[in-house]
Amino acid sequence: MSQPRETSTPSYTLNCRMAHEAAALERLCQVVRIRGFRISRMNMESTGEHLDIALTLEGSRPIAMLQSQLEKLHTVASVDLETGARVQSCSA
Amino acid sequence: MNGAQHILEAFHRHNISTVFGYPGGCIMPLYDALVDDVGVEHVLCRHEQACALAADGYARASGKLGVCIATSGPGATNLITGVANAHRDSIPMLVITGQVPSGLIGTDAFQETDVLGMALGIVKHSYLVDDADELPAILEEAMELAESGRPGPVWIDIPKDILLTEVTRAAIPAKQAPAAAHADITEALTMLRSAKKPLLYSGGGVSLAHAETAFREFAEASCMPGVVTLKGIGNAGKHNPNDLGMLGMHGSRAANKAVDECDLLFVVGARLDDRATGKLDGFAPNARMIHIDADAAEINKLRPADTALRGDLNAILVSFTRALKENPLSIADWQDQCRTWCTTGGFHTADNEEALAPITGPAFIRQMSRITPDDTVIACDVGQHQMWVAQHYQFDHPRHHLTSGGLGTMGFGMPAAIGAQFADRNSTVINVTGDGSFMMNAQELATIRRYNLPVKLIVLDNQCLGMVRQQQELFYNNRESQINLDDNPDFVAMARAFDIPALHIERTDQIRRGIETLLAYDGPMLLHVAISREENVWPIVKPGGSNKDMIDEPRRNNANKEQVA
């Protein structure tokens, strides 16, 4: 039996603000998944008309690609990337 | 005015005169309102998928918003392929579905599906209306969204009770999308001027931005050799001497050679799709890239741009044209080289002129291109015939070529042709299809008959799924699997059963007469064309391979490589 392979997957934190509409979170998570990222932590607060969502994501694709796709969503007001991407070790 | 009546009122306000739909339980209030409305023509297709694809074809041919309507549950799920098709090709579309009454949502009611959740990945945006007074604003916003920026389908799911509720709030015009900031072309222009071998690479974004005229003036002012994507066919017009045609998997050797040799790619309204670029590592290896697009998310998505301009293609191209008219590029040697490649490595296969010879797809399409008027709209399906049209038909305008580029939807052609014919009742509209694709939406023969649309149907019948067979032959050791269609129905008899006259041809000397008969007939007609089962689309790049490694027809292989090398 082969040993698990050690790989390094970059980790990022994105802070999103979006309109509080039906399926808002689903819409966000669907884009994250299809663009090749995995959500490892999520925190959401409802502030009146908005949702503030902090996403910790793992993925090997460029995070800028995901950011630009999220910014295209009509209900997304802003997407901010916390600077300083971390690299996490995980078993593949 | 209830919710349903308000929808029709919004259609009037936005000059929407044609919609495609199919009634059912939860959308009945809208159909009831339609009875009293003479300003909106409702086209009853025979399947909801065809409603969406017809709305798509209408939008592509006219440049206007396409509208489709269906009921909840199966009505909505049947729309999915057509909406996904519009999404992948950025077609402006408004989708309206009825939903079970608000109080029944989430109870597994009859004909209930979670439309909002189901459609998330195939729409530009979507709404579930939970308050009748929100409907006016949602309708305005949805129509604005569908057509602005990079267009796409917007879906409004409306519970039946909302359709019946009085709307007390008036419509407020949606906020217009902010105009793109004026793009500074200075850096890109400097880069363009420093290039010795610049190549213009354009896609479907040109016509989506209604920038056909600006693009053509730019192409002429720059004199750059140009290649096009499948959706960009027609951008340069049929008489531009610098047009090398389509690049990519089934592109010409000349187009792929030019991409391989160029030192600058000037990309306009294209997304560097894998069918166009082949393996990205080997794509335009010596070139810097200027990327112009309406969608910021396309910039640097697959290949980093050396400089990028995002915004209105019209304004950007006009700026370049002005600069290039004042100070033209000096690229005569590169132009000559590309024209030589085009002569020797274009889509020129020798036709078998023998009268009794079997018909080949390319020979048929070339004759059709010579005979049909310049403004003919060709709606293709998906498969070998689609590529033969792309390779051998000379299009003068991108809106004349309706093809399912991103999703590759078999069954697209006939409904799209119906939509295109409604967009312009006087135009010549031809659906070129294969025997596999024809059967995917054959029920729409009834729609053509019902409205007496003069759509011409050409079925290139090789009694198999030709594109799959071809790839099985070339890349799967000729192990044919589930491609045989030699038990097809009699297509001529089938058309006649719908009261549509039909002809059959099978020899080369019958091509011209067959096409001329089709064109001369005042009404719908089907031409059934028997073609060889063994014919392949050439050249071809192995899926996932590099465009440099394209494979030519075996008997032409050596000669072509020598000429273009």
* Residue A70 CA: distances (Å) to CA of A33, B38, B90, B318: 11, 42, 17, 31
Please state the CATH superfamily assignment of the domain spanning residues B186-345 in this structure: TPP-binding domain (3.40.50.1220)
Closest Cβ–Cβ partner in A21, A26, A62 for B120: A26
- CATH numeric code, B3-164: 3.40.50.970
B491 carries an active-site annotation:
no
DSSP B464: B
Comparing alpha-carbon positions, the chain A residue that sits nearest to B119 is A27
Closest Cβ–Cβ partner in B116, B296, B299 for A23: B116
pLDDT of A30-47, one tens digit each? 999 999 999 999 999 998
- Measured between beta carbons, the chain B residues lying within 8 angstroms of A73 are 125
Closest Cβ–Cβ partner in B124, B145, B301 for A65: B301
Q: Is A46 on the interface with B (CB under 8 A)?
A: no
Is the four-CA dihedral B213, B233, B392, B564 of positive or negative sign? positive
* Euclidean distance between CA atoms B487 and B436, whole angstroms: 11
- Whether A1 maps to a domain, the answer reads no
Residue A8 is predicted with a pLDDT of 82
Could you state, in order of their start, the residue ranges of all structural domains in chain B? Answer: 3-164, 186-345, 361-537
Given the DSSP bridges, would you call strands B41-44 and B93-99 parallel, antiparallel or unpaired? unpaired
CATH at A50: 3.30.70.260
Is the four-CA dihedral A36, B120, A29, A12 of positive or negative sign? positive
Distance from B539 to chain A by nearest Cα, in Å?
32
Name the catalytic one among B93, B140, B143, B160.
Answer: B160
* Residue B343 CA: distances (Å) to CA of B72, B77, B304, B390, B562: 55, 48, 32, 18, 13
Distance from B146 to chain A by nearest Cα, in Å?
11
Residue A90 is predicted with a pLDDT of 43
* Euclidean distance between CA atoms B453 and B213, whole angstroms: 30
Contact present, B20 and B47 (Cβ < 8 Å):
no
Distance from B301 to chain A by nearest Cα, in Å?
6
Comparing alpha-carbon positions, the chain B residue that sits nearest to A69 is B297
Distance from B182 to chain A by nearest Cα, in Å?
20
Determine how many CB atoms are found less than 10 A away from the CB of residue B174.
Answer: 16
Distance from B54 to chain A by nearest Cα, in Å?
26
Residue A3 is predicted with a pLDDT of 61
Residue A91 is predicted with a pLDDT of 41
Residues B185-223 as b or e (16 or more Cβ within 10 Å = b): beebbebbeebebbbbbbbbbbbbbebbebbbbbbbbbb
Closest Cβ–Cβ partner in A22, A30, A74 for B121: A30
- Whether A32 maps to a domain, the answer reads yes
Contact present, B188 and B307 (Cβ < 8 Å):
yes
* Euclidean distance between CA atoms B397 and B376, whole angstroms: 10
Comparing alpha-carbon positions, the chain B residue that sits nearest to A31 is B121
Residue B100, both tokens: 């079970």
Phi, psi of B390 (to 5 degrees): -60, -35
* Euclidean distance between CA atoms B4 and B163, whole angstroms: 5
Nearest to B58 by CA among B451, B458, B371: B451
Name the amino acid, one letter, at B293: D
B467 carries an active-site annotation:
yes
- Whether A18 maps to a domain, the answer reads yes
> Whole-model pTM?
0.95
B335 carries an active-site annotation:
no
pLDDT means per 10 residues in chain B (565 residues)? 96 97 98 94 98 98 98 98 98 98 97 97 98 97 96 98 94 68 86 98 98 97 98 95 95 96 98 94 95 95 95 96 97 97 80 79 96 97 98 97 98 98 97 98 98 98 98 96 98 98 97 98 98 94 91 67 54
| Interface mutation target, options B126, B144, B148, B303, chain A, most CBs of A under 10 Å | B126
| Interface mutation target, options A21, A32, A63, A72, chain B, most CBs of B under 10 Å | A72
Closest Cβ–Cβ partner in B121, B125, B130 for A74: B125
Domains B186-345 and B361-537 share a fold: yes
Determine how many CB atoms are found less than 10 A away from the CB of residue B343.
Answer: 12
B20 carries an active-site annotation:
no
Nearest to B212 by CA among B317, B308, B296, B310: B317
Residue B410 is predicted with a pLDDT of 98
- Measured between beta carbons, the chain A residues lying within 8 angstroms of B124 are 74
B563 carries an active-site annotation:
no
Contacts of B438 (CB under 8 A, 6+ apart): B381, B414, B457, B459, B491
- Measured between beta carbons, the chain A residues lying within 8 angstroms of B300 are 62, 64-65
Q: Determine, for residues A72 and B297 on separate chains, whether the beta-carbon distance falls below 8 Å.
A: yes
Q: Determine, for residues B124 and A74 on separate chains, whether the beta-carbon distance falls below 8 Å.
A: yes
Q: How many CA atoms lie within 13 A of B295 on its CB side?
A: 25
* Euclidean distance between CA atoms A45 and A54, whole angstroms: 9
- Measured between beta carbons, the chain A residues lying within 8 angstroms of B130 are 22
What topology is assigned to B361-537 in CATH? Answer: Rossmann fold (3.40.50)
Q: Determine, for residues B295 and A72 on separate chains, whether the beta-carbon distance falls below 8 Å.
A: yes
Comparing alpha-carbon positions, the chain B residue that sits nearest to A71 is B297
Residue B156 is predicted with a pLDDT of 98
Q: Determine, for residues B120 and A75 on separate chains, whether the beta-carbon distance falls below 8 Å.
A: no
Q: Is B156 on the interface with A (CB under 8 A)?
A: no
- Measured between beta carbons, the chain B residues lying within 8 angstroms of A22 are 116, 127-128, 130
Name the catalytic one among B111, B335, B443, B472.
Answer: B111
Name the catalytic one among B143, B246, B249, B467.
Answer: B467
Contact present, B289 and B223 (Cβ < 8 Å):
no
Helix (H, G, I), strand (E, B) or coil at A64: helix
Contact present, B281 and B260 (Cβ < 8 Å):
no
Residue B120, both tokens: 């998330």
Closest Cβ–Cβ partner in A21, A23, A69 for B120: A23
- Measured between beta carbons, the chain B residues lying within 8 angstroms of A30 are 120-121
Residue B233, both tokens: 């066919």
> Number of CB pairs < 8 Å for A and B?
36
Distance from B299 to chain A by nearest Cα, in Å?
9
Residue B10 is predicted with a pLDDT of 96
Q: Determine, for residues B121 and A34 on separate chains, whether the beta-carbon distance falls below 8 Å.
A: yes
* Euclidean distance between CA atoms A63 and A79, whole angstroms: 11
Q: How many domains does chain A have?
A: 1
Q: Determine, for residues A22 and B295 on separate chains, whether the beta-carbon distance falls below 8 Å.
A: no
* Residue B351 CA: distances (Å) to CA of B30, B348, B355, B359, B537: 54, 9, 11, 10, 14
